[in-house]
Structure 1
Amino acid sequence: MTTDEEQLPAEDVQPRRSTSRPFVVAAAVVAVLLVGAVLGMFLTQRAINSGQQATPGEGSVEVGFAQDMSVHHLQAVTMANWERDHTTDPELKQLAFDIQSTQLEQVGRMKGWLMLWGQPEQATGAYMTWMSGPSAHGMAMAPSTASSGGAPMPGMATDAELAKLRSLSGKDLDVYFLQLMLRHHQGGTDMAQYAHDHTSADAVKTLTKSILDSQGAEMVLMKQMLSARGAQPL
């Protein structure tokens, strides 16, 4: 006695199995975001309830950082997902997975803060208005973090660059991903450094320190990986 699946040809069985993958990936993404959001809300609410910190308001460094860095991170997640699914290099696949999982959890944490603070997930005006003074000006002028034409924030890729990334394969894909992600990290760490230096919220200081540590280590690794492939940063 055989099951219905055993009676089907192999080519009929395989698509049925593979169609479940997008649902598994989507469920994993939601789970990571929820974990980050719950953690962010718990830590922030504890600080507020203890009377140690006031709730950040619109226009504050904390709110602006959470809104803008979430957007910045989500582009990195998009690029990392593409690389992970299209590279044949195990080293690149692992790096892309690490970036995707780490930054997605951090997005969840920042969105949890914004929900707790009663602030929208995205600012309605221009990006980066929470940064002011010499430090922000210096960051904007730094060659390593300058925005490409059409990119909303330092380090982010333009639509044309994302399209080029999706058009490549093999070593060309890996090199261009490393170049774009390295520049992306450089812009993101400058934003994190400014927030770390100008916030009084413990949760924000903790997260920005984590970003600086993890992305700093990844930048060193990406430079080494580019060099090993005979390429240079953008």
Structure 2
Amino acid sequence: MTVSTDPGEAATAAPPVNGNAPGRGHRGPVWLALTLALGLLLGIGVGLVIPQFLKPGDTSPEAGFLRDMSTHHAQAVEMSMIAHSASTTPEIISLSSDIALTQHAQIGYMQAWLRDWNLSPTSSQEPMAWMPDAEGSIVNGLMPGMATPEQMTALRAMTGKPLDVEFLTLMRQHHLGGIHMAQEILKLSDDKNVTWLAGTMVTAQQGEINLIDMLLKKLQTA
């Protein structure tokens, strides 16, 4: 059988039905417009609804991490401000300033994201509830690495070399706890903002621990 590619013959082989071309009618453009309009409305609806489902929920690891790390950072900022105002050692003044500014800015990020997710900055959940097997991470109600109220009171009263050594010692422990928390959320979350911030925390605080170790060694040999 020979198949012609002549458009004229193809048209002849498929005559109009009731005077209209196959698959076409007077309502064709109308139905097309309605279909497009419906698709647009559905697209808008999905665009409005899906982001709500994609936002982390109140009990999500992301929300728990941001809330807990905000509290964790707040203490680091307080310790840094104490050292910055009381120390006379240039390296301690510089380090404490960097920590205070960096972690205060990160608190701003974390609180802004919680607001964007329509979540409260606080929760009725226990600290570290977002982390699996975190029971041993809480000591006397404090998250990993956090200083006790007694240690904070003592730090406020110190001056000179004892202040420098205590600040560095407490901040080193504080950073280790913060790194542990950040590494855990990296395992649990696929939120790009949260994982970016957590990765930044790990890198910065590991670098600061190296500097703290160097400063402690220098103070101990002075």
User: One fold, TM greater than 0.5?
Assistant: yes
Q: Does residue 179 of structure 1 match 2:173?
A: no
For each residue in 1:138-161, what CA deviation from the matched residue of structure 2 results, as whole angstroms up to 9, or x when unmatched?
Answer: xx4xxxxx66x6352110011100
C-alpha spacing 1:170/1:49, structure 2 compared with 1 (3 Å): farther
Q: Does residue 230 of structure 1 match 2:209?
A: no
Cα contact 1:151–1:157 (8 A) shared by 2 = no
Cα contact 1:151–1:158 (8 A) shared by 2 = no
What is the SS of the residue equivalent to 2:140?
Answer: coil
Structure 2 counterparts to residues 6-45 of structure 1, below 5 A: none
Structure 2 counterparts to residues 13-92 of structure 1, below 5 A: 54-92=54-92
Per the alignment, residue 107 of structure 1 pairs with 107
For each residue in 1:51-85, what CA deviation from the matched residue of structure 2 results, as whole angstroms up to 9, or x when unmatched?
Answer: 6x810001111000000000000000000011001
Q: Does residue 127 of structure 1 match 2:127?
A: yes
Per the alignment, residue 35 of structure 2 pairs with none
What is the SS of the residue equivalent to 1:218?
Answer: helix
Q: Which has the larger radius of gyration?
A: 2
Give the one of 201, 216, 221 matched to 2:206: 216
- The whole-number CA distance in structure 1 between the counterparts of 2:79 and 2:122 is 20
C-alpha spacing 1:104/1:172, structure 2 compared with 1 (3 Å): same
For each residue in 1:144-190, what CA deviation from the matched residue of structure 2 results, as whole angstroms up to 9, or x when unmatched?
Answer: xx66x635211001110001101110000000000000000000000
- The whole-number CA distance in structure 2 between the counterparts of 1:94 and 1:50 is 45
Equivalences, count: 174
Shift of 1:50: 9.2
- The whole-number CA distance in structure 2 between the counterparts of 1:228 and 1:50 is 55
Aligned-pair identity in percent equals: 36
- The whole-number CA distance in structure 2 between the counterparts of 1:62 and 1:92 is 33
Q: Does residue 97 of structure 1 match 2:126?
A: no
Per the alignment, residue 196 of structure 1 pairs with 186
Q: Which stretch shows the higher mean deviation, 183-192 or 149-158?
A: 149-158
Normalising to structure 1: TM-score of the pair?
Answer: 0.70
Match for 1:122: what amino acid?
A: T
Structure 1: give runs of 5+ residues left out of the alignment.
Answer: 1-47, 141-145
RMSD: 2.1
- The whole-number CA distance in structure 2 between the counterparts of 1:197 and 1:217 is 21
- The whole-number CA distance in structure 2 between the counterparts of 1:79 and 1:175 is 13
What is the SS of the residue equivalent to 2:54?
Answer: coil
- The whole-number CA distance in structure 2 between the counterparts of 1:76 and 1:70 is 10
- The whole-number CA distance in structure 2 between the counterparts of 1:125 and 1:101 is 28
- The whole-number CA distance in structure 2 between the counterparts of 1:131 and 1:202 is 18
